[in-house]
């Protein structure tokens, strides 16, 4: 399937992605901007095994990620000949910016929560150019996880333990998985955490996200690789939690006032959160938060099209920014 969409005109003007070694043999692949459809990934290199954490939204970006993995392999093992490619690929959740490129890992065992598999199988490869600025998605096919789990799965890169956890609740989505490397106290959180970006819980739960953040705190990570934004420390957990509690309070006030999520978003002073990227997410987040005020269970279906339309409206009627 090849999209006919063009690249965003500024996509190639962004700084290049950065490969950051956050512990011995553990790398964060940090993409610039950190906005819609531009995610972080990561990888763990062993002598005989390679674990990748998430793919990217487009063919071009995923191939660049694979090139970065290969480059680090050559650097670490240049005296020992060719090394194997990715043997395992973990999806932190089903959203296309983290899974569209799965098909470019043909020899890897793709691992994720069972609801991640179901969601990718149901949605396929989304190309929603009407909501976002145009993107060249590339030649992509759905490739959902074919090894799934419910709450925890341990995988090993040589002898290094990587714990995969689902915290038992909807949060960013219904199927969020973190990759925890206890030996190095490094945590890949997927989109449970945005660093310097507005958290996004439309397809999950506000209350559930707070539960998930408590679970993240209990792991006691020293280094966090967020789903979007720079590598950070545990202090970012508090920022995300404060935004979510602010969101809950705003939703209760709007619900009591009988106004719509869009009306509430337009009236809300973001205060300390005004500097977070993509503030239009407030409208979508309020759809979820106000549904929870009315008793909706975490992750219950809501009108996603209406929520995205409100985000576009809050963005001045312009497509949402995307440099993918």
The verdict on residue 264 lying in a domain is no
The verdict on residue 135 lying in a domain is yes
Q: How crowded is residue 286: how many other Cβ atoms within 10 Å of its Cβ?
A: 29
Of 23, 56, 43, 22, which is closest to residue 86 (Cα–Cα)? 43
**pLDDT tens track for 161-208:** 999 999 999 999 999 999 999 999 999 999 999 999 999 999 999 999
**Contact present, 23 and 184 (Cβ < 8 Å):** yes
Q: How confident is the model at residue 301, as a pLDDT?
A: 94
Q: Which domain holds residue 205?
A: 11-234
The verdict on residue 180 lying in a domain is yes
Q: How confident is the model at residue 128, as a pLDDT?
A: 72
Segment 214-240 shows an average pLDDT of: 98
The verdict on residue 190 lying in a domain is yes
The two structure tokens encoding residue 214? 């408590």
What CATH number is associated with residue 15?
3.60.15.10
The verdict on residue 71 lying in a domain is yes
The verdict on residue 296 lying in a domain is no
The verdict on residue 291 lying in a domain is no
**Contact present, 278 and 132 (Cβ < 8 Å):** no
Instruction: Report the alpha-carbon distance of residue 324 to residue 306 in Å, rounded.
Output: 24
Segment 199-224 shows an average pLDDT of: 98
Give the confidence band of 79 by pLDDT, cuts at 50, 70, 90.
low
Instruction: Report the alpha-carbon distance of residue 194 to residue 202 in Å, rounded.
Output: 14
The verdict on residue 258 lying in a domain is no
Residue partners of 221: CB distance under 8 A and separation at least 6: 180, 185, 186, 187, 234
Q: 189 or 320: whose pLDDT is higher?
A: 189
Total number of domains in the chain: 1
Q: How confident is the model at residue 3, as a pLDDT?
A: 28
- pLDDT tops 80 at residue 10: no
**Contact present, 50 and 156 (Cβ < 8 Å):** no
Which phi and psi (to 5°) does residue 155 adopt? -125, 160
Query: pTM of this prediction?
Result: 0.94
Indicate the range of 135-139, 216-220, 222-226, 290-294 predicted with least confidence.
Answer: 135-139
- pLDDT tops 80 at residue 262: yes
Give the confidence band of 266 by pLDDT, cuts at 50, 70, 90.
very high
């Amino acid at each position: 399937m090849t999209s006919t969409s063009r690249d965003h005109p500024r996509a190639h003007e962004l700084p290049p992605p950065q490969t950051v070694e956050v512990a011995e043999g553990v790398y964060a692949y940090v993409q610039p901007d950190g906005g819609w459809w531009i995610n972080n990934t990561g990888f763990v290199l062993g002598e005989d095994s390679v674990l990748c954490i998430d793919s990217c939204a487009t063919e071009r970006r995923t191939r660049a990620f694979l090139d970065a993995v290969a480059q680090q392999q050559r650097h670490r093992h240049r005296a020992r000949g060719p090394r194997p490619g990715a043997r395992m690929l973990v999806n932190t959740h089903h959203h296309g910016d983290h899974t569209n490129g799965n098909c470019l890992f043909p020899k890897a065992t793709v691992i994720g929560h069972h609801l991640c598999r179901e969601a990718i199988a149901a949605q396929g490869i989304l190309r929603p150019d009407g909501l976002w600025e145009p993107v060249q998605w590339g030649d992509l096919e759905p490739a959902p996880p074919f090894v799934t789990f419910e709450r925890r799965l341990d995988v090993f890169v040589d002898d290094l333990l990587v714990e995969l956890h689902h915290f038992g609740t909807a949060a960013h989505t219904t199927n969020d998985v973190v990759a925890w490397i206890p030996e190095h106290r490094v945590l890949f959180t997927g989109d449970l955490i945005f660093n310097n970006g507005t958290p996004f819980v439309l397809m999950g739960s506000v209350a559930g996200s707070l539960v998930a953040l408590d679970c993240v705190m209990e792991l006691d990570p020293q280094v966090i690789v967020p789903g979007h934004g720079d590598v950070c420390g545990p202090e970012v957990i508090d920022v995300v939690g404060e935004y979510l509690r602010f969101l809950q309070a705003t939703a209760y006030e709007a619900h009591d006032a009988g106004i719509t999520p869009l009306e509430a978003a337009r009236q809300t002073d973001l205060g300390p959160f005004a500097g977070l990227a993509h503030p239009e997410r407030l409208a979508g987040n309020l759809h979820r938060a106000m549904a929870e005020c009315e008793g909706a269970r975490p992750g219950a279906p809501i009108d996603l099209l209406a929520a995205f339309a409100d985000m576009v409206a809050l963005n001045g009627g312009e497509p949402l920014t995307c440099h993918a």
